[in-house]
Structure formats: C-alpha cells, structure tokens
C-alpha cells in the first residue's frame, strides 16, 4: 500500500491538521524518511503555509486547538512547531495551547529538531568570525555606555558573551554592568 493510501485511511480522507477534505497531499515532517509514520496528510492550504511560513494566515491555524491532541506523533510534531511559530509572532492563544500540550519525550525531541536547524543569521565579529554564546571577545574601539556613565575602553575583555535576537548585537559584562554591544566593535579572542 502506498504512503498516500495509508495516510488517507489513517486520516479518514481529511487533512490531519484542519479537517478539510479537498486537495489532500502527503507532507513529510522534517527530518523525514519517506514512511507513513513520518508523514501526515494535509490540504493545499496547510501545505502551502507549512512550505512558506511567511504566508501564514493566523486564523487558519486555530484548527491546531483540535489537532494538537492527535495520537499520531507526526501530527503532534507539526502542531507543536506551528504553535511555537505562532507564539513567536505574538499570538497568546498559541502559547496557551503550547502550555497545555503533552508529548512523549521522543516526540518532543523530534519536534525540537526544527529549533536546532534554525536558519537564523550568524552573529559575526569585526573580522567576520562567527560568535557563539559563551565566547570571549575584546573591544576594538572605545564605546560610550549610555546610562552607565562610563566608557568601555578599547582592549577590554568581555568574557562569556550572550547572543541576542538581533544578529548584529551581543550582550556581555563590562565594569560589572550587563550591556548590549554591537558585534562589529569586537573581535573574538
């Protein structure tokens, strides 16, 4: 039996996310091998929004209120990932659903694999070297610390930096104060 036939039978010929029964296709849940346990049956609306996240229609995804309780691990993974994305967009209802959602440990690990594969822009120092959380850096120019009342001098070591959501900024302690530093003004030591 083909994957499509297996999924159609499992899902009762409906999208496993929103319940639609039009234009159904197989969606491989990344990272996926082509088998029915790692795939779900989705409609064209869900499929297009899963493939191009910038086209998300928030109201369409309220269907996750039901699909997140599916007994199928692949459906749980897609529901969790989509709720996580919606919550990051400021949708409080999605965060509420995430807080209620239960998954077995191995299913949660599969869902979180997408976070590790985050295609976020790297934070680079003045030489173009990628920075990681916990790295030590040195300031390459004097920086006036707004609100701190001091100047962070060139050559000052900043140990154990943190990365911020903005790839152009890092955070670190200088003179006992935690400050935000423009990554282009440091070099990795």
Sequence-separated (6 or more) residues with CB below 8 Å from residue 99: none
In the numeric block, the tokens 């869902």 are attached to 111
User: What pLDDT digit, counting tens, does each position of 86-113 carry?
Assistant: 888 888 999 999 999 999 999 999 988 8
What pairing do the DSSP bridges indicate for beta strands 143-145 and 25-28? Answer: unpaired
Q: Supply the CATH number for residue 171's domain.
A: 2.30.30
User: What pLDDT digit, counting tens, does each position of 2-45 carry?
Assistant: 888 999 999 999 999 999 999 999 998 887 666 778 899 999 99
78 lies in the same domain as 10 = yes
The pTM of the full predicted model, rounded to 2 decimals, is 0.61
Name the domain boundary from 116, 147, 166: 116
């Amino acid at each position: 039996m083909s994957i499509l036939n297996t999924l159609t039978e499992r899902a009762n010929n409906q999208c496993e996310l929103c319940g639609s029964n039009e234009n159904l296709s197989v969606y491989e849940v990344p990272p996926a091998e082509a088998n029915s346990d790692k795939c779900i049956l989705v409609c064209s609306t869900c499929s297009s929004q899963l493939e191009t996240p910038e086209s998300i229609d928030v109201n369409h995804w309220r269907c996750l209120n039901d699909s997140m309780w599916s007994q199928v691990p692949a459906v749980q993974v897609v529901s969790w990932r989509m709720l996580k994305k919606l919550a990051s967009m400021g949708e409080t209802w999605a965060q509420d659903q995430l807080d209620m959602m239960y998954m077995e440990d191995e299913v949660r690990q599969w869902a979180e694999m997408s976070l590790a594969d985050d295609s976020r822009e790297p934070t680079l120092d003045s030489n173009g070297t990628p920075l990681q959380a916990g790295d030590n850096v040195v300031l390459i120019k004097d920086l006036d610390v707004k609100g701190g009342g001091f100047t962070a001098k060139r050559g000052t070591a900043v140990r154990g930096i943190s990365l911020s959501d903005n790839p152009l900024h890092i955070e670190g302690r200088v003179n006992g104060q935690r400050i935000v530093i423009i990554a282009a003004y440091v070099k990795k030591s």
